[in-house]
Amino acid sequence: MIIDDFVGSGDTIVNNIKEYFIPEFCLILKERKIITIFGIVTGFSEAKEIIERKINKLGIDAIVIIIDILDDSDKCFSDSSRIFVTPSEKRKVKHICQSKGELLEEKYPLGYSDSQTIIAFPMNCPNNTLPIFWKETKNWVPIFKRTYL
């Protein structure tokens, strides 16, 4: 069983699969009929599909379980966002997050892979969360800590 707190784009898990699920290891899993379970606390359904496609390419028997599945309505600034009451409020906040985010995390001002999440855990904050919440610089002190593993 492989456990993770959050999956946004699926990139981290897919990269770990590429690194650790080498052909010899996959062969052992197949021969011994071992089922690998990826247990994830919360994450996007699109990421689950990406992970499942990678697993299928390797031909291993695996299950991906996300307890709290997120969709576009969980992204801060999507058209279906449940976070803001009015469109004007959403536009104003997006402008602030985008402009400050560009100074903090130029490539992903609204979170890695444009995830636009506002998720934090007691021990860490995913890089999919808006950088204004976690990115530390000499001119910016975030409200959540991000641990780089």
Give pLDDT tens digits for 76-117. Answer: 999 999 999 899 999 999 999 999 999 999 999 999 999 999
In this prediction the pTM is 0.87
For residue 88, give its domain range.
73-134
pLDDT at 149: 65
Within-domain flag for 139: no
pLDDT at 59: 86
pLDDT at 148: 74
Do 30 and 14 lie in one domain? The reply is yes
DSSP state of 82: S
Do 53 and 90 lie in one domain? The reply is no
Do 58 and 6 lie in one domain? The reply is yes
Return phi, psi of residue 15, to 5°: -65, -40
Within-domain flag for 143: no
Among 44, 70, 96, which residue terminates a domain? 70
Give burial (CB, 10 Å; 0-12/13-18/19+) of 89.
exposed
Among 70, 99, 120, which residue terminates a domain? 70
- Do residues 13 and 43 touch, judged by C-beta distance below 8 A? no
Do 9 and 53 lie in one domain? The reply is yes
pLDDT at 147: 84
